[in-house]
Amino acid sequence: MSEHARRVFRLQNKFIKVFNMTSHNQELFDASQQVIPGGVNSPVRAFRSVGGTPLFFQRGRGAYVWDADDKRYIDYVGSWGPMIAGHCHPDVVKAVQDAAANGLGFGAPTASELEIAGLLCRLLPSLEMVRLVSSGTEATMTAIRLARGFTGRSRIVKFEGCYHGHSDGLLVKAGSGALTFGQPSSSGVPAEIAALTTVLDYNDAAGLERAFAEMGDEIAAVIVEPVAGNMNLVAPRPEFLAALRQVCTRHGAVLILDEVMTGFRVSLQGAQGYYGIKPDLVTLGKVMGGGLPAAAFGGRRDIMQCLAPMGSVYQAGTLSGNPVAVAAGLATLKLVQQEGFYEYLEQRAKQLTEGLTAAAEKYGIPFCAQSVGGMFGLYFSDAIPTSYAEVMSCDKEAFNRFFHAMLDAGVYLAPSAFEAGFVSSAHTAADIDETIAAADAIFSGWK
Ligand code: HOZ
């Protein structure tokens, strides 16, 4: 256990007596549950879906993380996406240190905000203007408000199993933790707010057309994960993406691509570049913050100009554009622009998914996997799911067993069957081979 973790634990132990515990993870979890609801600050981290004790991490380096017992894991969560260059990349750490030495925050404009805004607009052609915020939730929440302000309409459309952060109107039939715990619609969301959200089936172009035929003139925006990554990974059908663009244009609705997960993850131009779809608004987070809290939304100039102080749609934030977070983002965005970065990432992700699939096949286990750029999905199923319903019919218990066996073998996968996985440029071919060998050993004894 690190000195810091030890200090925290000693502090907690002033109030709580824990007997006969051998795992420091368990000790920390027991103590945490006394002062943090569920012992965690974000629900999926509690391991409720897979069972067992969550790991408390003390450090990370490259493709590896170490838990409170000092056990090393090959990490396929990468802080849920941001660690695209691996943990503690020296360039990112140096940029953060330099920025911190100049001031942790001003609540006033800085030149680095201009630099990252300009870079985002250059890298993503659909961004004519961009505003920085601190989290993906803030980005999506504000993009929705902006679309409503711009169109003067109230209704929004989302897709079952897609997760766009935890603002009220978006926590309706949501993915990620909401799905993991079987409560895809949160209590505390007023029915009147939820009623303004129409939920459709992901990848169902005909359903989308029908909804627009019925109420197209009420719809302010359609928000979608261009690759769904919060109900495991579901890749978009090309006709679905094309229909999204067509109906939004036809009916004057704002198409919001939620690229918090896919932005700078599936390609340098995100999913919009990967699939060739032009959104009206885009939300970004994760990679663009390099592991620190930076996120953004942006898009068409005529829409973005509706934002205060130019327009009447309000949004603000003390930490928006925080210089230390922006420095981490800029350093990370510099790394991903290096020649061959995404080819390497894609190769590692493919090596992993193909290797795991081949291992399972050897023992006749119904398992498949796929990747898009640097993100991947694993499914205990005969076929790769293309819809929410198909994801739900995968064998969740098999995933949970696999998850724990991999954890024992030193491989850290997302602790839920409903989350995508991530590789980084720090993962070597040898790391992936080690992961596949661990899975092979597990599958060889699978009953
Ligand atoms: N919403 C994240 C998974 N898609 C989980 C975030 C976290 O627990 O850090």
Residue 13 inside a domain? The answer is no
Residue 391 inside a domain? The answer is yes
Range of the domain at 95: 90-336
Shared domain check, 171 and 142: yes
Residue 12 inside a domain? The answer is no
Q: Per the omega criterion (within 30 degrees of 0), is the bond before 309 cis? A: yes
Burial 409-446 (b: 16+ CB within 10 A, else e): bebbbbbbbbbbbbbbbbbeeebbeebbebbbebbeee
E-assigned strand segments in 36-167:
57-61, 64-67, 72-75, 129-133, 155-159
pLDDT of residue 307 exceeding 60, the answer is yes
Kindly tell me the burial class for residue 164, based on how many C-beta atoms sit within 10 Å of its own C-beta (0-12, 13-18, 19 or more).
buried
Boundary of a domain, candidates 321, 336, 351: 336
Sequence-ordered list of residues with C-beta below 8 angstroms from that of 68, at least 6 positions apart, any chain: 1, 2, 5, 23, 24, 25, 27, 28, 55, 56, 57, 58
The answer, yes or no, to whether any atom of ligand 1 lies below 6 A from the CB of 46, is no
Shared domain check, 397 and 425: yes
The answer, yes or no, to whether any atom of ligand 1 lies below 6 A from the CB of 180, is no
What is the pLDDT of the chain when averaged over all its residues? 94
User: What is the pTM assigned to this prediction?
Assistant: 0.94
Q: What is the mean pLDDT of residues 142-168?
A: 96
Q: Ligand 1, residues 56, 77, 80: which to mutate, most atoms within 8 A of Cβ?
A: 80
Residue 3 inside a domain? The answer is no
pLDDT of residue 187: 87
pLDDT of residue 173: 79
pLDDT of residue 16: 47
pLDDT of residue 15 exceeding 50, the answer is no
Residue 8 inside a domain? The answer is no
- Residue 258 annotated in active site: yes
Per-residue model confidence as pLDDT tens digits over 102-115: 999 999 999 999 99
pLDDT of residue 20 exceeding 50, the answer is no
Share of the chain above pLDDT 90, in %: 88
Shared domain check, 370 and 321: no
pLDDT of residue 274 exceeding 80, the answer is yes
Shared domain check, 391 and 306: no
* Cα 124 from Cα 114, distance rounded (Å): 15
Residue 4 inside a domain? The answer is no
As a 3-state breakdown, the chain gives helix, strand, coil percent values, each rounded to 5, of 45, 15, 40
Boundary of a domain, candidates 336, 357, 380: 336
pLDDT of residue 21 exceeding 60, the answer is no
Shared domain check, 132 and 172: yes
Q: What is the mean pLDDT of residues 390-401?
A: 97
Number of structural domains, the chain? Answer: 2
Q: What is the mean pLDDT of residues 223-245?
A: 97
Give the sign of the dihedral formed by CA 33, CA 35, CA 41, CA 42: positive
- Residue 274 annotated in active site: no
Residue 10 inside a domain? The answer is no
pLDDT of residue 441: 98
Boundary of a domain, candidates 319, 336, 353: 336
Per-residue model confidence as pLDDT tens digits over 35-85: 999 999 999 999 999 999 999 999 999 999 999 999 999 999 999 999 999
Virtual torsion, Cα 62, 63, 67, 71, nearest 10 deg: -110
Shared domain check, 277 and 422: no
Shared domain check, 38 and 26: yes
Kindly tell me the burial class for residue 69, based on how many C-beta atoms sit within 10 Å of its own C-beta (0-12, 13-18, 19 or more).
middle
Shared domain check, 302 and 425: no
Fill in the DSSP letter of residue 134: S
Pick from 11-20, 132-141, 234-243, 288-297: least confident: 11-20
Kindly report the CATH number assigned to the domain that includes residue 382: 3.90.1150.10
Q: Which residue has the tokens 């098999």?
A: 398
Residue 108 inside a domain? The answer is yes
pLDDT of residue 182 exceeding 90, the answer is no
